[in-house]
Structure 1
Amino acid sequence: MRVRRAVFADRAEAGTRLGADLRVRKWCDPVVLGLARGGVPVAAGVATALHAPLDVAVARKIGAPAQPEWGLGAVTADGPVNWDPASLRRARVAAADLAEAVAREKEEAARQLRRYREVAAVVPVADRDVVLVDDGLATGVTARAALRRLRDDSPRSVVLAVPVGRAGTADRLRAEGAADDVVALIAPAVLVAVSCWYRDFGQTPDAEVLAILAAARRADSPGR
């Protein structure tokens, strides 16, 4: 069986390359948000390239009961659950049966946000171009939840940017208006696992997210 070679060394390199691609666009007072956790190291490179402030967004996947990695929907700390109706049908699961999982993931999203806000206050996004960054796009359930939550804060535009993203998922997010555009450096028709595109795709702990956000705030502070 032929094994495809990884394209990105790690999330930091992917962010540098994604930032170089996005830098050629025209932006209106941009803000870059990393989708926690793995999207934050990628977003740091994008924020540097765009000379934009870095912030964080949190969305948690609601997994299938027997296959937790299979996202049936996703939720943010506040707001409604964003379900994938087609996945619910395939899994033969009713949304009502996942109430406990929804409550648990909403609580975890709130916990993450509280911890991140200890080092990084909210960056306002109203009337600004927002770039939401993740380390990859497969089913799109968490990205969709984060994008819809961002719309509530009245940004000028919202662009989802990823180093690698399934072409069909990107097309759906554009078509349904979840994002004004979706940018992917690589957009394969079939994407089995985002991790296959990275040589180093280790877990991103809260401590790393906190360190990146704190460093970004120090860099943005007056008199630096």
Structure 2
Amino acid sequence: MRQHLLFTIYGPMQAWGKVAVGEVRPVESRPTRSGLLGLLAASLGIRRGDPVLDALNRECRVAVRQDRPGSLMTDYHTAQVPKESKGRVFSTRRQELVTKLDRDERPNTVISNREYLADAAFTACIWLEGAQECSLEGFRDALKRPRLTPYLGRKSCPAACPFMPEIVEAQDELEAFEVYEPEEYCEDIYKLGNGAIWTEGDHGRFNAFTVRDRVIDHQKRQFGTRFEYHVPPQGAGED
């Protein structure tokens, strides 16, 4: 038997980004590995650049079940940003747009089309391999009382209900999904036990896909590839 940490993910909007080039900012149809580890890191109070992030990336394994697919929406997004300048650090938005700009300087306007998942719900599963620095108990407690604000992909996407983390023992993550039962008041959101599952657990009987969401460098935001297995919804055939 193996221990697994499971928790719910629901919000009016989510944005689990994938490779973005140019003005389009697409999203995945479910939470990504890097996004889930970032959510855990924020709950633990770990900031970008902290070496503890390497332990999270090295020791954690993830799986996600889709409980409610939601719908895709696109936002025509404009943002004003100052020109890049060495040695100039901004602490507030006012400094970016007003007080730290040169007298004749005007901020640039960046235009993008940003995708979001609206009204989607998922269940996440985390387990550890070769754990030395991480603990599921620490993750669970942090999700109950986050030290930094966790968000669902982008800072504009807060969670709409508690994560309801719970540690369960099971043979593997697929069995753990069947065992986990969140609070009753979320029953109208979650349709438990029949959604598709994406996992990095090695299940050779299911189709495997290559995804690019394995963190290589947190500061430079560089990502590598990994294998992910797709488990079809109960009663459906494999893709």
TM-score by length of 2: 0.27
Q: Structure with the greater relative contact order (CA < 8 A, sep ≥ 6): 1 or 2?
A: 2
Question: Which has the larger Rg?
Answer: 2
